[in-house]
Amino acid sequence: MKSKLVLFFTIIVCFLLQSTVLHSVSIGSITPNLLLILCSSMGLMRGRKSGMWTGFFCGLLTDLFFGSILGFYALIYMYVGFISGYTYRIYYDNDLKVPILLTAAMDFFYNLAVYGFQFLLRGRMNLFTYLYRIIIPEIVYTVFLTVIVYRIFYYINHHFMTPVRKESESIWVLK
């Protein structure tokens, strides 16, 4: 219960920072995606289920306040958290290279999904313009923010949340 409460407040604080402070530091109308960093970080540190639920609630908040279709961003963020959760059993979460690469890949996936469903289906076929004017600068800006913010999420996960037992660990094995 303590982990869920801490995660809920972390989602709220990240959403408030995303919608207020980060818009004031945008460069050329490109803002870093703090909620995506949170979803991929929780997927990496806590697994698929936690990453999926974090992504769903981050996306639901984005849909309620900024979206035109309810559930669009919730679905995309949920997939981001779920796919990031596959790295939970493979990589250690204390190294900074894995979250950087994971966030860059998930931001690329996120932006391609937004392009595909919001622009391509309306007949706007200029993918390369969208790629070099929006996707690549946002990936660079989000990765730069990941270097700063991931350590905070790592500290919150290891000091305020209960540890998640990996599937390979058993309660019957003595240490």
At 90-108, the pLDDT tens digits run 888 888 999 999 999 999 9
Cα–Cα dist 149/124, whole Å: 34
End-to-end CA distance of the chain: 26
**pLDDT class for 165, splitting at 50, 70, 90?**
low
173 vs 92, 114, 133, 169, 170, CA distance in Å? Answer: 22, 46, 53, 8, 6
Considering the domain boundaries, does residue 13 fall inside one?
yes
Cα–Cα dist 37/56, whole Å: 14
What range defines the domain where residue 117 resides?
2-160
Considering the domain boundaries, does residue 165 fall inside one?
no
**Sign (positive or negative) of CA dihedral 77, 83, 89, 91:** negative
Lowest mean pLDDT segment, chosen from 85-99, 115-129, 143-157: 115-129
Considering the domain boundaries, does residue 79 fall inside one?
yes
Considering the domain boundaries, does residue 171 fall inside one?
no
Structure tokens at 52: 């999926």
Cα–Cα dist 170/158, whole Å: 20
Considering the domain boundaries, does residue 168 fall inside one?
no
CB 30 within 8 A of CB 134: yes
Q: Facing residues of 27 across strands?
A: 30
Cα–Cα dist 32/145, whole Å: 7
**Closest Cα partner for 103 from 172, 45, 49?**
45
CB 42 within 8 A of CB 51: yes
Considering the domain boundaries, does residue 27 fall inside one?
yes
Considering the domain boundaries, does residue 174 fall inside one?
no
Considering the domain boundaries, does residue 166 fall inside one?
no
Number of structural domains found in the chain: 1
pTM greater than 0.85 (yes/no): yes
Q: What is the CATH number of the domain that holds 59?
A: 1.10.1760
Give residue-wise pLDDT tens across range 121-144: 777 778 888 899 999 999 999 999
